[in-house]
């Protein structure tokens, strides 16, 4: 069972918002925080509205979220999307594994 997913268990105790923002900055897309927050919030609302999100594994969930973020930002860059998704998922899996909490649903 996984509870409180979104930063406490899958990362360094920080929310997904600043983690994603930093990943974009590290990849060369420096966005004002308020502009990125609007994209992140848009992606989150899309996730709540999409029933199939509840059946997604970690990889699919992050791909969905990043696609909605970039859609809101009007950024079309598949390489950037892949980099952000892969880095985020790798970091989340490492954090979960370090705690002995890598749930199969998010494998």
Quote the pTM value. Answer: 0.82
More confident residue, 52 or 12: 52
Q: 9-42 b/e with 16+ CB inside 10 Å = b?
A: bbbeeeebbebbbebbeeeebebeeeebeebbeb
DSSP structural state of residue 13: S
* Distance in angstroms (rounded) separating the CA atoms of residues 36 and 65: 13
pLDDT band at 101 (very low <50, low <70, confident <90, very high): low
- Cβ neighbors of 27 (< 8 A, separation 6 or more) are 80, 83, 84
| Helix locations, the chain, DSSP H | 16-26, 33-49, 58-73, 78-98
* Distance in angstroms (rounded) separating the CA atoms of residues 63 and 60: 5
Segment 42-59 mean pLDDT: 93
Q: State pLDDT tens for residues 5-34.
A: 454 445 555 688 999 999 999 999 999 999
Q: State pLDDT tens for residues 83-96.
A: 999 999 998 888 77
């Amino acid at each position: 069972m996984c509870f409180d997913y979104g930063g406490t268990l899958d990362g360094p105790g920080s929310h997904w918002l600043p983690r994603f923002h930093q990943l974009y900055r590290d990849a060369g897309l420096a966005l004002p925080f308020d502009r990125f927050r609007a994209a992140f919030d848009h992606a989150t609302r899309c996730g709540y509205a999409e029933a199939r999100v509840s059946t997604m594994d970690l990889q699919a969930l992050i791909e969905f979220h990043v696609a909605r973020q970039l859609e809101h930002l009007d950024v079309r860059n598949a390489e950037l999307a892949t980099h952000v998704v892969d880095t985020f998922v790798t970091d989340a899996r490492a954090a979960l594994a370090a705690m002995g909490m890598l749930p199969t649903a998010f494998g």
